[in-house]
Amino acid sequence: MESWLAVLLLMLLGFVLLLIELFVIPGFGLCGISGLTALGYACYLAFEKFESPWPGWGALLGTIFILIVFIVLFPKTKAWKRLRLDAKEESSEGFQSPSPGLEELEGKTGDTLTMLRPAGTAKIDGKRVDVITEGIFLPKNTKVKVVMVKGNRVVVRKVNSSA
């Protein structure tokens, strides 16, 4: 009788630890791994401590069934809706895609408005543009040339005054 109690308590502990991992502690860490370990050990004990393999199969299939039911039913609950992010980035809600016309800046020159460490602001073709260097720091009021534009990323290089 105490073997059944141990198996049931381990299964209960495993499910409680998985619920704690889901609702209290973000990510998949110690409680999640401990919960799965407790469930696995409960199934092992059910196979090992009884003469017949049927209690072990019952524990294993019961655990799998409960996990599947939980996985199928949980996304339909209010708790899941509180955990899940439903926000969409749509233009009607203020989301803006990359600024149009940045590709036109490629090859043009301008002056830095702030120090580039390596990111900052420059005035290129009469527009204020967020730029980034190829990894070096540049002081304010340095002549720069746009060497690459990829999406919102505008990469600049210092223009040599001797050229």
Exposure b/e, 76-99, CB count within 10 A at least 16 = b: eeeeeeeeeeeeeeeeeeeeeeee
Q: Tens digit of pLDDT for each residue in 119-135?
A: 999 999 888 999 999 98
What residues make up the domain containing 71? 2-83
Q: What is the mean pLDDT of each run of 10 residues along the chain (163 residues)?
A: 80 87 77 88 85 83 85 80 75 67 89 94 93 93 93 91 59
pLDDT in tens, 134-162: 989 999 999 999 999 988 899 999 998 65
Please tell me whether residues 13 and 78 are part of one structural domain: yes
Structure letter (DSSP) for residue 81: H
Q: Which of 83, 112, 128 is the last residue of a domain?
A: 83
- The one-letter code for the residue type at 18 is L
What is the predicted pLDDT for the residue at 162? 59
Whether residue 15 sits in one domain with residue 79: yes
| Reported pTM | 0.47
Q: Is 109 helix (H, G, I), strand (E, B) or coil?
A: strand
Same domain, 67 and 40: yes
- Tell me: cis bond preceding 53? Omega within 30 of 0 counts: no
Place of tokens 């009469």: 126
Inside any domain, residue 106: yes
User: The domain spanning residue 130 has which CATH number?
Assistant: 2.40.50.140
Number of domains in the chain: 2
Predicted local distance difference test score (pLDDT) of residue 114: 95
CA angle 13, 15, 16 (to 5 degrees): 65
Comparing CA positions, the residue from 100, 139, 143, 138 lying closest to residue 124 is: 143
Comparing CA positions, the residue from 32, 30, 38, 29 lying closest to residue 11 is 38
Q: Give the separation between CA 20 and CA 140, rounded to whole angstroms.
A: 53
90 falls within a domain: no
